[in-house]
Structure 1
């Protein structure tokens, strides 16, 4: 039985979320997470997965995962610093460094762990972190955990970044100052202005950190946003996930050998949580190898993203200013956004609503994630469904 004090807190809070359209219902996928999924027995076109290149269902990755599991076992058996570092983990980190064009890399159990561990391992209460106001929650939590003074910069506003950097530098209050940004912003699909960021960072001596969770495998021929701009030697921390375009699970930071050496002795998730499974590590290596040798999937991803974006805009939806395959349909009102998503599902399209606190209040949207696995016929069916529901709910 729930403790009365706890229940008195939880019950009204949960009801308030439901009333405001902010309560998220979790659906269970019955089978693999591909271009089509089955939920509650219904087959739906899936536009809510980060499986950009379809690798999570790729037979070649499955084969490597099974082979590594048979060789090493289902788990690593310990944290990395005791005896949980296996040959396959070293191979993955070497491959990641080559992939990101850096001296070294470190693998974590998840992208969230990555940001929590890496930021707090380097920044302290004597420092300041300038953070783009729309950065991912894991960045926000990593900054808080570090104890550093967090200074917000307006989203993608380079004049404001320069102002904040100048004030922080001239104040003399901080030993180190870091600027941290998403490479590709997951809710809007816009891309960080890496060249301008680098110029400001060099002017004021800022440490630079780019979270490229949604850029790796999508931008820069797969190597990410930093590589897209030819700035691999200018960004101090290149963070990425192994769960989106790579299709498996985990996260990593790529950078100088000294940085990686430091993270391996100070990043708490690395020190105190069991390593990636051997099967996951092997599958990640295979995904990177395929991505670099065969660009066809990335080309298909971009082709599908461009097609869907153009179709939704033509219908009259507000798709924001996305520069990547991520395609939001901004509805605004949270309850209407939830209703829109439910109606899409009833019509055979699975595209989840995104509302506060993931995005600011009043900017609720249905986020569409086209992948390389979608066919043109699927996307045409999606557009027809969007037109029907959009007119029915008077969104267009």
Structure 2
């Protein structure tokens, strides 16, 4: 066994012992409320298909029509250009969110990495919530900017760090935050962050990946619901969650988007999305705009699920959204809980480090608008019984 094999073997053995091992599961109907795993039907609480649009017949039909333009884009947009449907999509996105311009990218990870490494450099400062998504962390690392991490949702700490950067004479500064935190289900204090942004003259990037489609009168996101969208300099979102498709976008002033055309490496050096995806996105936007009843259903089901867990004595952190963690702490207990749920016909994945900080392992339940009430209620019964069995409650 050479040194590489020894390192890999030792690392995998250590992760297994600590309850941190992971596995890829072959799943059928993975985005639907009921999925198939190892020949067994499970109620699915692990998908981000919040409005239940993945697999919508209108989206599939739109994708089939667009597929007639070709199977793939074959090159970067700066090399081959783009078709008229892409042009129309970006204009539609800008209009929908009331921003000057939009840029479509391959996915949320590539969007955040590209945006942050484009706008920030080694002489700049960035202020990031400690629980921001890994794509934000990696984008900051690539940028080589001075990184100030503020305690989760702690505005006093954020302001302390803003003052510290000011005393150092750092001219260009940017605050970045998720709007809905993907592993905690709580929301960022966006109005107060906007206040600090204006007070200290920083720029602001908001990641709306888990809020787009869910919040706002027409699903524009949390910034629109809070009526602060105009104060957001860079507004990132994805189509892979509530929209049920794939891809990501960034909204900003026209000149800022033009700057990304010239500097964003994850845009410049990546093949464009294929026509079938673009067609699906455009149809999904229409369904999201018309999806008020879906948002109401999702809100009601999420509220009920949260209330029942709290009554039973579970720790759901600060969740106020469709993402509901059951915080357990111990990694092995969390894994056991997840396995017992599968035995009872429920899919909820154990979330462990490094996805969440050490000692904060949890089950993550994601509600969908098209979950049936009887499935939600039967899942709650199982969760409570297993929680007592494992002495979590």
* Shorter-chain TM-score range: over 0.9
Match of 2:254 in 1: 257
1: CA distance, partners of 2:52 / 2:2: 47
Match of 2:105 in 1: 108
Match of 1:286 in 2: 283
2: CA distance, partners of 1:272 / 1:36: 38
**Which of 30, 39, 42 matches 1:41?**
39
1: CA distance, partners of 2:30 / 2:359: 33
Q: Report Cα offsets for 1:139-189 as digits up to 9, x if no partner.
A: 0000001111111111111111111111101211x2311111001111111
1: CA distance, partners of 2:16 / 2:56: 38
**Which of 190, 194, 202 matches 1:194?**
190
Match of 1:213 in 2: 209
Check conservation: 1:126, 1:148, Cα contact below 8 A. yes
Which secondary structure state, in structure 2, belongs to the residue aligned with residue 305 of structure 1?
helix
- Listed as ranges, the gaps of 5+ residues in structure 2 are none
Match of 2:377 in 1: 380
Q: Does 1:354 align with 2:345?
A: no
**Which of 74, 95, 104 matches 1:98?**
95
Match of 1:390 in 2: 387
- Listed as ranges, the gaps of 5+ residues in structure 1 are none
Match of 1:322 in 2: 319
Paired residue total: 392
Which secondary structure state, in structure 1, belongs to the residue aligned with residue 61 of structure 2?
helix
Trace 1:1-396 onto structure 2 (pairs within 5 A). Answer: 4-70=2-68, 72-172=69-169, 174-221=170-217, 222-396=219-393
CA apart distance, 1:75: 0.7
Check conservation: 2:326, 2:362, Cα contact below 8 A. yes
Check conservation: 2:76, 2:270, Cα contact below 8 A. yes
CA apart distance, 1:32: 4.9
Q: Report Cα offsets for 1:181-217 as digits up to 9, x if no partner.
A: 0011111111111111111111111110101111111
Which secondary structure state, in structure 1, belongs to the residue aligned with residue 140 of structure 2?
helix
CA apart distance, 1:84: 4.5
Q: Report Cα offsets for 1:63-87 as digits up to 9, x if no partner.
A: 00110111x1111111111114121
Q: Report Cα offsets for 1:334-369 as digits up to 9, x if no partner.
A: 110011001101110000010111111111100000
Which secondary structure state, in structure 2, belongs to the residue aligned with residue 217 of structure 1?
coil
CA apart distance, 1:294: 3.3
1: CA distance, partners of 2:206 / 2:99: 14
Which secondary structure state, in structure 1, belongs to the residue aligned with residue 28 of structure 2?
coil
CA apart distance, 1:218: 1.1
Check conservation: 1:84, 1:275, Cα contact below 8 A. no
1: CA distance, partners of 2:362 / 2:324: 10
> What TM-score does the superposition give when structure 1 sets the normalisation length?
0.97
RMSD over aligned CA atoms reads: 1.1
Which secondary structure state, in structure 2, belongs to the residue aligned with residue 358 of structure 1?
coil
CA apart distance, 1:395: 1.2
1: CA distance, partners of 2:52 / 2:198: 38
Check conservation: 2:31, 2:48, Cα contact below 8 A. no
2: CA distance, partners of 1:350 / 1:254: 35
